[in-house]
Amino acid sequence: MSLPTVAFPTYTTKLPVTKKEVSYRPFLVKEQKILLLASESDDTQSIATAILSVAKACCLDDDVDVATLPYIDAMFLYLQLRSKSVGEIVDSILHCDQTNLKGEVCGNEIPIKIDLSKVTVSNIKNASKKIDISDGVGVQMKLPTFEQILRIESDGNESTVSMGVMEEFDLTIKCIDYIFDGDQVFHTGDSSQAEMVTFLESLTEQQFSPIAEFIESFPSLYFKNEHTCPRCKAKNTIELNDISDFF
């Protein structure tokens, strides 16, 4: 006699960038195990891979591929999953980044509680941008997908913390949806990496700067809360943009 199967609750949420309505279920015990293993490894790459695999499994819409969603949508979905599965409060550590008069960083570790129901997305209007460079030539920028962000991190030696110049350039290319010249459109996927590098390197510093600005002002998950550092007494506002911050 086969054992009974247990029904699980389902929820829906609206993704902030694509505005898609997606339905999902909470983590099951088997997925909780995947996340636990990743958190024990304490490695950003493993954590991101685990988040992706769990978010894929919990997303109930066949037409939504979490790997190819803009990463901020994928992370937002993960947060919803996390809060419905485990609870809305995440214990985390805030590193005080205040500098004193001598220019030394405080670096104190402050234990904090993050209320996932209060996490919002900042700079949402910067999810895409058309940039005119010169004489009808320009670029259409977009957010990288979750899968693309993962690949950048695995290509680099370390996590995002020590992203080198080449990885940054790689990220720039992944954020270009297409290059246009008047009515002609050149999709990034149709050009080689070398062609894209040549295109970007041929720009002047001034022409390149709005592209760099777009990347610097990406939307990010934002948890607005102030904590006073017990050591230096400075106020810290937390901005969550690293996956491991709210894992």
Q: Is 28 in the site for Zn ion (CB under 5 A)?
A: no
Q: Is 50 in the site for Zn ion (CB under 5 A)?
A: no
The three-point CA angle 160-166-167 to 5° equals: 30
Q: Is 108 in the site for Zn ion (CB under 5 A)?
A: yes
Which distant-in-sequence residues (6+ apart) come within 8 Å of 86 by Cβ? 27, 32
Q: Binding-site residue total for Zn ion (CB under 5 A)?
A: 7
Nearest to 176 by CA among 214, 135, 134: 214
Going residue by residue from 194 to 233, which x/- string records binding to Zn ion, judged by CB under 5 A?
Answer: -----------------------------------x-xx-
Radius of gyration of the chain (CA): 20
Which uninterrupted H or E stretch holds 82?
helix 71-85
Q: Distance between CA 187 and CA 178 in Å, rounded? A: 4
Closer residue to Zn ion, CB minimum distance, 171 or 234: 234
Buried b (16+ CB within 10 A) or exposed e, 92-113: bebebebeeeeeeebebebeee
Closer residue to Zn ion, CB minimum distance, 100 or 193: 100
Closer residue to Zn ion, CB minimum distance, 4 or 103: 103
Q: Shortest gap between Cβ of 112 and Zn ion (angstroms)?
A: 13
The phi, psi pair for 223, rounded to 5°, reads -115, 105
Closer residue to Zn ion, CB minimum distance, 85 or 108: 108
Which uninterrupted H or E stretch holds 215?
helix 205-216
Closer residue to Zn ion, CB minimum distance, 7 or 101: 101
Going residue by residue from 65 to 104, which x/- string records binding to Zn ion, judged by CB under 5 A?
Answer: -------------------------------x-x------
**Which residue, chain included where needed, has tokens 């991190």?**
153
Q: Distance between CA 77 and CA 79 in Å, rounded? A: 5
**Residues forming a β-bridge with 121:** 221
**Residues forming a β-bridge with 5:** none
Query: Which of 34, 67, 106, 238 forms a contact with Zn ion (CB under 5 A)?
Result: 106
Q: Shortest gap between Cβ of 108 and Zn ion (angstroms)?
A: 4
Q: Shortest gap between Cβ of 182 and Zn ion (angstroms)?
A: 53
Closer residue to Zn ion, CB minimum distance, 106 or 137: 106
Q: Shortest gap between Cβ of 132 and Zn ion (angstroms)?
A: 43
Q: Shortest gap between Cβ of 99 and Zn ion (angstroms)?
A: 9
Q: Shortest gap between Cβ of 65 and Zn ion (angstroms)?
A: 42
Report in angstroms the alpha-carbon separations of 125 from 3, 59, 88, 146, 219: 50, 25, 26, 19, 8
Closer residue to Zn ion, CB minimum distance, 46 or 98: 98
Q: Shortest gap between Cβ of 235 and Zn ion (angstroms)?
A: 10
| Cβ atoms of residues 209 and 190 within 8 Å | no
Give contact residues for Zn ion (rule: CB under 5 A).
96, 98, 106, 108, 229, 231-232
